[in-house]
Amino acid sequence: MKDFNKIFKAQSVAIIGASNKKGSIGNTLALNLKNSFKGKIYPVNLKEKQIENLKAYTSLSEIKKKIDLMLIAVPAKIVCDILEEGGRLGIKGAIVISAGFKEVGNLELDNKLKAICKKYNITLIGPNCLGVLNSYNNLNASFAAQSAKPGKTAFISQSGAVCTAVLDSAEKLGIGFSKFVSVGNKSMTNETDLFEYLAADKETEIVAVYAEELNEPERLIKAARKLKEAGKPLIILKAGRSLAAAKSAASHTGALAGEDKVYQALFRQAGIIRADKIEELFDFIKIFSAEISKKNLKKKSYKNLAIITNAGGPGVVAVDSLEETNLELASLGAKTKENLKKVLALAANTNNPIDVLGDALAEDYKGALQAVLSDDKVDSILVILTPQAITEIEKTAKVIIEAKKKYNKTIVAVFMGEAMVNSAREIFTKNYLASYSFPEDVIKALGALNKWAEFYREKSEKAEINFKNINKKKVEKIFTDAKKRGQKAFPEFSALEILKAYGFKTLKSYLAKSSEEAILIAKKINKDLVLKISSADILHKSDAGGIMLNVLPSEAGKKFKELLARVFKKKPKAKIDGVLITEMIKEEGLEMILGVFKDPALGSAIMLGLGGVFVEVFQDVSFGLNPLTREDVYKMIEELKSKKLLAGARGSEPKDEEVLIDSVLRLAKLIKDFPEILELDINPILVLKKGRGVIVLDARMIIC
Amino acid sequence: MKDFNKIFKAQSVAIIGASNKKGSIGNTLALNLKNSFKGKIYPVNLKEKQIENLKAYTSLSEIKKKIDLMLIAVPAKIVCDILEEGGRLGIKGAIVISAGFKEVGNLELDNKLKAICKKYNITLIGPNCLGVLNSYNNLNASFAAQSAKPGKTAFISQSGAVCTAVLDSAEKLGIGFSKFVSVGNKSMTNETDLFEYLAADKETEIVAVYAEELNEPERLIKAARKLKEAGKPLIILKAGRSLAAAKSAASHTGALAGEDKVYQALFRQAGIIRADKIEELFDFIKIFSAEISKKNLKKKSYKNLAIITNAGGPGVVAVDSLEETNLELASLGAKTKENLKKVLALAANTNNPIDVLGDALAEDYKGALQAVLSDDKVDSILVILTPQAITEIEKTAKVIIEAKKKYNKTIVAVFMGEAMVNSAREIFTKNYLASYSFPEDVIKALGALNKWAEFYREKSEKAEINFKNINKKKVEKIFTDAKKRGQKAFPEFSALEILKAYGFKTLKSYLAKSSEEAILIAKKINKDLVLKISSADILHKSDAGGIMLNVLPSEAGKKFKELLARVFKKKPKAKIDGVLITEMIKEEGLEMILGVFKDPALGSAIMLGLGGVFVEVFQDVSFGLNPLTREDVYKMIEELKSKKLLAGARGSEPKDEEVLIDSVLRLAKLIKDFPEILELDINPILVLKKGRGVIVLDARMIIC
């Protein structure tokens, strides 16, 4: 784990590239630090004697005092010289603001920077970033135009602009920050490094992230688990969805992958709360800040929601929004309804949503709140107010704040409108009650909170699974031999051999090179047959007319010739190895697809979905990443519509889900053992009825 | 068409139930009217001599002057007396604020109110509503706490609370209103009535609606077409999604319908722009107000978007959001790129999104804007600004306003943050430029605008289609006979007869009541057979084991007995009519489902989708409503994933889509001719390859 205390808890900071030129980055850095920091500040500038009234130095070496942190904002080409000098002087922390590295294609400079950091054991953030704020050390080592108030959220962003927007909105949102990190190019420090640090940081209770790319999923998932163990939710907005990678892939798996589906797997497995929009990220931070704290960690659920409203419409909208969450309308207890009847007008609706009517006063809200707060079946309460002629807006806001203080239950508020309700919103912000302008937003945020609570309650499973019947040596040899030959593609025959070595059940298949051989093989099998073309040049056999089903053993010779003729017509240039002959499986089963895709950022991912001809039509697939647990695979299946087919839809028998899960885990082990596997399609993998297992019917593989 | 001029253009208004009690509805109505209206106001109150310094009357009759409009806010039970009195006096317009009618189950009172309106030809809005505003007549006949500024948007709402929230937010959003109508219970006036009126209203250019239920789809679709012809977009937020209706249905079609899918059909066919959230409704009104005006109607498209930004992150987020719209990143012309290179810094990105870099000044934005505005390939421009240390926020806002004025092209803005950018946002609002806080919102709004433009360019097709081979008389007779017998359910045999009368191709089928009959029938057909149980008590034949495929003619007698035994085991109490015997179709085809569902609000809807065993698993269905055109059915198919199967996926032949469309239209005619059809499942309807048509293989029907 990297020691970020060198940065966040620095007691002395040198600003290399500090300047007196107003509006420049070097000047803003100096001013921000001077206006915040209680430790020593050493501006470094070749020409000036003073920077913003602080004594300036011409170099780091000239300072001759203990320096914890270098804040570097000089042209890219001299950044490494500065780092080298600092390294020699024993400075262990660095933030590089300067741009001009990897982001403009200058990989050489980037590599040089990394080498120096390693040589001197320097912890470095950046380059090409806005800087870092630690409100608990009064450290504003950034050129942001605004500062951050102390709070419980650590914010990490790959975009400096999103940092500035968040800082500019923070006050209105009532959000404070424990750490604020612009990670820039992430040359030495990425999000995962910070997660590891923040899991133990006592000022941080929530971690929120804007990222355009994430890496090292295995390490990330482990770091996310550490955050979970510490009771700290991790919220990420992942921007930059792109299908470019998927479009260029040749396999089914590749074509269906899409970067975003692999990220979806990462988020699911790491228990990351995903924000889909920038505003949602703000909305989520708001409710998590209000609700998550060390004392609340044991709160079981936010699931059962009571809604109190003075207007039907927004209540209806709130209920509509529940559909996309795991929240439910609480069914109120008889006692609660009695209490509601006592305090509310006769026409008021005492079912949930509770309509206190348009002429409700603060006192009516108070009565309804008390009734609902005492109900054990209610986990969370949403109070909606629309400004009617006699509505007591501010007074109602105060009633809500008091109720929250008294009961310590989750209460959120939607006061609709603008001009008339703004003052009430300010009351909420001041009192750390999450308030929103629209019902849809609060429901989504509350849903995210409940999702976190569910994840927090889940027991973490040990990822390591021990399989029998795995012959790693054999696959090693196959790959070594292939690499020697320069072979990258593995058609059916050899792909099946590899899968067999990892415990997959395959059919015994024989390669016939002539019709005579085909006749001999048919006699040996003596059952209905499947004939399949074997050729490294033919990826999709059925499209090339290269598959024949239900062939009678007696016709094997004739059909062998027919098949070759048919394939020759469609693929005259393909080099044909022969025809694979196997027994025709007549047992009822579900054709699924199992595959491997290599995401440019996240690496090898496993795909599971409905196979056969429906693969492309319904694209009913889900992904998984290593380290993969049994529980993770259950969740992959949960995401599939075809889970109903696995369970046995419309009178058909339930399928062998357990062995299918076992197969997914074996595949996970295979790609962990052999990262050189670039693409793999097992299609179809036939899932037989419960107790009968699964059979690989066809497969192909490419290594790099 | 109803004459709403009696209400909107009233020159004299009587307020029945006017009051001096501060905060009361009667008082708010009097004050609102007094503070706005230039015509005559007559408060009516039994006891008071004056209401808010206006002479008060004890009854309508006492006024003895011409009265255009009654504004009624008295207890529900005396509303009808007032209406009757007004009717007798020749008053033709009424707004009933009072609650206590249909919404509390008092249907009797509601019917009485309707009868009086019909008797005296009174145009009435309400009851149970907030009232009406017409800013072009200075008429505030509502008890809203705020008034509306004049503008081009007519706003109609089923929720009074949403009205008040919209009014409260209007100023910040920079939205003005032509008409503002709270429709309440919609006893005499629903949205469609108002659409018909607003199509010809010269002050209205956009119609925006909040609705929880819509009715009379046929009339609504026609009214929406009138709005389209007048170049007026119709934007609706439909709240109150509920699956309750679907859950109680017995048919496949019913189970898959869900209210919302039927509304989706309505919106698609009527060209309604759907807002999914309250905030989206606001967002859409904002951009439509800024962009739609009589002079802009010929603008072809908003599709090709150029993005100018001073920060990468928000640009990435904007591009991500494009995926869910019909917008595209414009490919900039060579000339544009040259111009951009001239005006921007060397490191700036002249590809789209155009990154003017973090230190961009207003002048840089201006240069980029000019370059892009001159590019013919660019339809719309999004300008993003994040507040960096030296960003000229207000100055940049002004540069954008000037550019918009000069070029009259679509420009929208996202200035991210809060405190620092608020003043710039105000500049945009004042100058009617649509500005947003987040890139996702502006892209969605711009997408909605482009969707409208696409719809506006579409030619309206004549809905009436003339079919040959339709024997309406025959079906009339079948239904008449059935009604006499009290028969509601039509199992396969009779359902097929009805479909045949409407030109559907069905298989000749014979009902065997004994194994001997089965043997005789089999001899006559002399091909492989399908045996199906025929029983009014068995809805889903396959679940009851009631279907046998591929039966040899020679085995018909034996299989007849087997089938009966099998069904008896599963459904011992079912009354069996016999076994239907038909030829087994071996021709390759796609099994689809065609059905009818009766939505509680919208009436009969047609469903089309993937049939067979996958119906429930993939729920790949879309809906259509009368009046249905050929173009509408094309769009229904477009919504299906299985459209790929229709087109011929993975080497299979393209299917007969044209005859399928014809079948959907025939079904549309059938349900128009016979609204008593409550549920109908045609499953499967086999779509053969192109040129071979479709065959109905099974069907069942229920009438009411």
Residue pLDDT, tens place only, A166-202: 998 888 888 999 999 999 999 999 999 999 999 999 9
Nearest to A649 among B160, B212, B616 (CB): B616
Q: Which residues of B touch A620 (CB under 8 A)?
A: 618
Q: Chain A: residue nearest B644 by CA? A: A617
Contact call for A168 and B314, based on CB within 8 A: no
Does the pLDDT at position A242 exceed 80?
no
Contact call for B389 and A25, based on CB within 8 A: yes
Nearest to A641 among B146, B419, B618 (CB): B618
Buried b / exposed e over A438-459, threshold 16 CB at 10 Å, is bbbbbbbbbbbbbbbbebbeee
Contact call for B314 and A278, based on CB within 8 A: yes
User: Phi/psi at B586 (nearest 5 deg)?
Assistant: -105, 0
Q: What is the pTM of this model?
A: 0.92
From A446, A440, A641, select the one nearest B241 (Cα to Cα).
A440
Question: According to DSSP H, which parts of B538-651 are helical?
Answer: 556-570, 615-618, 630-638, 643-647
> What confidence tens digit (pLDDT) does each residue in A592-643 have?
999 999 988 899 999 999 997 788 888 999 999 999 999 999 999 999 999 9
User: Phi/psi at B572 (nearest 5 deg)?
Assistant: -60, -25
Contact call for B418 and A172, based on CB within 8 A: yes
- For residue B458, the model assigns a pLDDT of 87
Distance CA A27, CA B678 (A): 76
Q: Please give the structure tokens belonging to residue A637.
A: 């299946």
Contact call for A314 and B161, based on CB within 8 A: yes
Does the pLDDT at position A435 exceed 80?
yes
Does the pLDDT at position A110 exceed 90?
yes
Distance CA A662, CA B367 (A): 61
B664 touches B624 (CB < 8 A):
yes
Which amino acid is present at B455? F
ω into residue A150 within 30 of 0, thus cis? no
Distance CA A685, CA A682 (A): 6
User: Phi/psi at A60 (nearest 5 deg)?
Assistant: -60, -40
Q: Which residues of B touch A649 (CB under 8 A)?
A: 613, 616-617
Which amino acid is present at B636? M
Contact call for A617 and B240, based on CB within 8 A: no
Contact call for A279 and B437, based on CB within 8 A: yes
> What confidence tens digit (pLDDT) does each residue in A372-426 have?
999 999 999 999 999 887 889 999 999 999 999 998 789 999 999 988 999 999 9
Q: Which residues of A touch B419 (CB under 8 A)?
A: 146, 168-169, 171-172
Nearest to A210 among B159, B313, B441 (CB): B313
Q: What is the 3-state secondary structure (H, E, C) of A97-148?
A: CCCCCHHHCCHHHHHHHHHHHHHHCCEEECCCCCEEEEHHHCEEEECCCCCC
Contact call for A418 and B162, based on CB within 8 A: no
CATH topology classification for A589-703: D-amino Acid Aminotransferase; Chain A, domain 1 (3.30.470)
All CATH 3.40.50.261 domain ranges in chain A, comma separated: 296-457
Contact call for A310 and B241, based on CB within 8 A: no
Q: Which residues of B touch A542 (CB under 8 A)?
A: 650-651
ipTM score here? 0.90
CATH fit for domain A296-457, picks 3.40.50.261, 3.30.1340.10, 3.30.43.10, 3.40.50.300: 3.40.50.261
Nearest to A418 among B160, B172, B418 (CB): B172
* Coil/strand/helix, residue A597: strand
Q: Which residues of B touch A161 (CB under 8 A)?
A: 310-314, 358, 386, 388, 416
Contact call for A651 and B419, based on CB within 8 A: no
Q: Residue B7: which residues within 8 A CB-CB, separation 6 or more? A: B69, B93, B94, B95, B123, B125, B132, B141
Give the DSSP letter string of B653-693. Answer: PPB-HHHHHHHHHHHHHHHHH-TTEEEEEEEEEEEEBTTS-
From A236, A227, A235, select the one nearest A200 (Cα to Cα).
A227
Which amino acid is present at A493? F
Q: Please give the structure tokens belonging to residue A54.
A: 């602080």
Nearest to B387 among A168, A310, A619 (CB): A168
- For residue A244, the model assigns a pLDDT of 45
Regions of chain B with pLDDT less than 70: 242-258, 294-299, 461-464, 650-651
Q: From the CA of A392, how many Å to the nearest CA of chain B?
A: 11
Q: Chain B: residue nearest A417 by CA? A: B165
Q: Which residues of B touch A438 (CB under 8 A)?
A: 277-279
Most confident range (mean pLDDT) of A66-70, A461-465, B100-104, B698-702 is A66-70
- For residue A362, the model assigns a pLDDT of 96
- For residue A247, the model assigns a pLDDT of 44
Contact call for A616 and B644, based on CB within 8 A: yes
Nearest to A542 among B158, B387, B651 (CB): B651
Helix axes B217-229, B191-198, angle to 10 degrees: 20
Contact call for A387 and B277, based on CB within 8 A: no
Q: Which residues of B touch A421 (CB under 8 A)?
A: 168
> What confidence tens digit (pLDDT) does each residue in A530-579 have?
999 988 788 778 788 899 988 999 999 999 999 999 999 989 999 999 99
All CATH 3.30.470.20 domain ranges in chain A, comma separated: 589-703
All CATH 3.30.1490.20 domain ranges in chain A, comma separated: 508-584
In a mutagenesis test of the B interface, which of A140, A142, A183, A278 is the best target, namely the one with the most B β-carbons within 10 Å? A278
Q: Chain B: residue nearest A23 by CA? A: B390
| Residue A462's pLDDT band (cuts 50, 70, 90) | low
Q: Which residues of A touch B310 (CB under 8 A)?
A: 161
Q: Which residues of A touch B209 (CB under 8 A)?
A: none
> What confidence tens digit (pLDDT) does each residue in A334-383 have?
999 999 999 888 777 888 999 998 889 999 999 999 999 999 999 999 99
Find out if CATH 3.40.50.261 is the number for domain B297-457.
Answer: yes
- For residue B246, the model assigns a pLDDT of 41
Contact call for B146 and A313, based on CB within 8 A: no
Distance CA A186, CA A263 (A): 19
Q: What's the angle, vertex CA B42, arms to CA B38 and CA B47, rounded to 5?
A: 145
> What confidence tens digit (pLDDT) does each residue in A286-307 have?
999 999 886 666 667 899 999 9
Buried b / exposed e over B206-243, threshold 16 CB at 10 Å, is bbbbbbbbbebbeebbbbbbebbebbbbbbbbbbbbbe
Nearest to A438 among B167, B279, B543 (CB): B279
Contact call for A159 and B358, based on CB within 8 A: no
- For residue B330, the model assigns a pLDDT of 94
* CATH number attached to the domain at B508-584: 3.30.1490.20
- For residue A131, the model assigns a pLDDT of 96
Q: For chain A, what percent of residues have pLDDT higher than 90?
A: 77
Q: From the CA of A590, how many Å to the nearest CA of chain B?
A: 13
Q: Chain A: residue nearest B27 by CA? A: A389
Exposure of B352 by Cβ count < 10 A (0-12 exposed, 13-18 middle, 19+ buried)?
buried
Contact call for B313 and A159, based on CB within 8 A: yes
In a mutagenesis test of the B interface, which of A388, A620, A640 is the best target, namely the one with the most B β-carbons within 10 Å? A388
Nearest to A168 among B172, B278, B417 (CB): B417
Nearest to A651 among B167, B277, B542 (CB): B542
A491 touches A534 (CB < 8 A):
yes
- For residue B519, the model assigns a pLDDT of 95
- For residue B252, the model assigns a pLDDT of 62
Torsion of CA B271, B276, B277, B280, to 10 degrees: -50
Contact call for B613 and A543, based on CB within 8 A: no
From B444, B445, B454, B448, select the one nearest B322 (Cα to Cα).
B444
All CATH 3.40.50.261 domain ranges in chain B, comma separated: 297-457
Average pLDDT over residues A24-31: 94
B642 touches B666 (CB < 8 A):
no
Average pLDDT over residues A312-331: 92
Contact call for B421 and A313, based on CB within 8 A: no
